[in-house]
Amino acid sequence: MSIKRVGVIGGGQLAWMMATAAEKLDIELVVQTPHHDDPAVAIASETIFAPVDDATATATLATRCNVVTFENEFVDLKALAPLADRGVCFRPSLQVLSPLLDKYHQRCYLQQIGLPVPKFATLEDAAPYQFPLVLKSRRHGYDGQGTFIVSDADTLQQIVASASIDTFLVEEFVPFVEELAIIAARSPNGEIVTYPVVETQQKNQVCHRVIAPAEISTEVATQIQEIAHKLLNSLQAVGIFGIELFLLSDRQVLVNEIAPRTHNSGHFTLDACECSQFEQHLRAVCDLPLGNAALRAPAAVMVNLLGYEDAENDYLVKRQQLAALPNAYVYWYDKKTSRLGRKLGHVTVLLDSTKAVEKVAQQVESIWYAQL
Ligand code: ADP
């Protein structure tokens, strides 16, 4: 049976960016999301307005589509289990998500299948603490929220006491030389497609830029491709997965984080690849042949447009200036309010080589962050 309606749990920009691919593949998107002004409401055939962890709403969603997928991982797996037992088709499945949603469980799983990870422990087991360390909320962290780089015991105490988080993961501070990422897709019959490895640049734990392809050796690129294959095959995963990694000075690679969904490090694929991560995800969950993940330009840089003030503003003039840059593609998520650090949009610029990355990224950032 061909899949015509895909249910998406979550209605943020990741669901919104599936729209063009859905239209191309003649697929309707039914979205479950809490707010009327969430980005994907505008592109959904139908919306169920409910929090993403509301399994009763997901039961309704499931009656309106052939397959249910996820645009974020803040779901309640236990509450969804009876739906899967009743035959609701989740892609990726709940079993695949189960070791990934809690960062401590995720690290344990990666270690168990033999992938390299930073040294880690629960907060309780990590004592006596070695500083600096990285403290992470085990669940519901995103864009650096819930990740703290801690240099002394007093600060650790303060964060643990003040945060409204009950369980933490503690890990070694990794002195990486570069952060890398790879997007990989697996279809129900086990076909795997990987995108070129990219460099990601974070400030204060938030992604600012993504550079495709990363300037790394063939050995490192191969090692990362192998990590992606091993992970997706071990999980028997279906759909797109984002894998974030640390590159060390001795060329060792450690896996930082797995996102069981489309990922910010793959936004460049919308314009720089034949088949975007969003189309690839829909192809995988609908059991269609996977698309071509090759770059169609020698290089690309993606710059996030992050909120720098509290405001209600559509920043039209800045967006027009950005769109006027050569080979630039501007995406605006149409969020109604801007907040410090909030992802409001992104720009991808296709380039003749990675040599131009720094100059072009600075140009984008000087337009976007200019105070008028
Ligand atoms: P999130 O889920 O919020 O994206 P991450 O675990 O990916 O959180 O961390 C965000 C950023 O924090 C990383 O991209 C990296 O820059 C930094 N970071 C995370 N873990 C470590 C670590 N163990 N050592 C050094 N830096 C880290």
Rounded to the nearest angstrom, the distance between the alpha carbon of 107 and the centre of ligand 1 is 13
Same domain, 167 and 199: no
- CATH number for 130: 3.30.1490.20
User: 126 lies in a domain?
Assistant: yes
Rounded to the nearest angstrom, the distance between the alpha carbon of 4 and the centre of ligand 1 is 37
Give the residue, out of 257, 265, 304, with the most ligand 1 atoms within 8 A of its beta carbon, to mutate for a pocket test: 257
Same domain, 125 and 39: no
Q: Which residues line ligand 1 (CB under 6 A)?
A: 118, 134, 136, 141-144, 147, 171, 173-174, 179, 202, 205, 244, 256-257
Same domain, 287 and 319: yes
User: 62 lies in a domain?
Assistant: yes
Alpha-carbon distance 255 to 77, whole Å?
Answer: 24
Cross-strand pairs, 343: 306
Q: Which two tokens stand for residue 177?
A: 């030389």
- CATH number for 359: 3.30.470.20
Same domain, 301 and 231: yes
Rounded to the nearest angstrom, the distance between the alpha carbon of 144 and the centre of ligand 1 is 7
Nearest to 44 by CA among 7, 87, 89: 7
User: 100 lies in a domain?
Assistant: no
User: 98 lies in a domain?
Assistant: no
Q: Which residues of 246-261 are buried (b: 16+ CB within 10 A; e: fewer)?
A: bbeeeeebbbbbbbbb
Rounded to the nearest angstrom, the distance between the alpha carbon of 70 and the centre of ligand 1 is 22
Alpha-carbon distance 67 to 206, whole Å?
Answer: 32
Same domain, 220 and 347: yes
Same domain, 72 and 137: no
User: 136 lies in a domain?
Assistant: yes
Cross-strand pairs, 171: 120, 134
Continuous segment of H or E residues that includes residue 168: strand 168-172
Residue-wise DSSP of 304-350: EEE--SSB----HHHHHHHHTSTTEEEEE---S-B-TT-EEEEEEEE
Q: What's the domain range around 16?
A: 4-90
Tens-of-pLDDT digits for all 372 residues of the chain? 688 999 999 999 999 999 999 999 999 999 999 999 999 999 999 999 999 999 999 999 999 999 999 999 999 999 999 999 999 999 999 999 999 999 999 999 999 999 999 999 998 898 888 999 999 999 887 777 889 999 999 999 998 888 766 689 999 999 999 999 999 999 999 999 999 999 999 999 999 999 999 999 999 999 999 999 999 999 999 999 999 999 999 999 999 999 999 999 999 999 999 999 999 999 999 999 999 999 999 999 999 999 999 999 999 999 999 999 999 999 999 998 999 999 999 999 999 999 999 999 999 999 999 976
Give the residue, out of 136, 205, 246, with the most ligand 1 atoms within 8 A of its beta carbon, to mutate for a pocket test: 205
- CATH number for 32: 3.40.50.20
> Last residue of a domain, which of 144, 172, 200?
172
Domain count along the chain: 3
Alpha-carbon distance 258 to 73, whole Å?
Answer: 11
Half-sphere exposure of 304 (CA within 13 A, CB side): 23
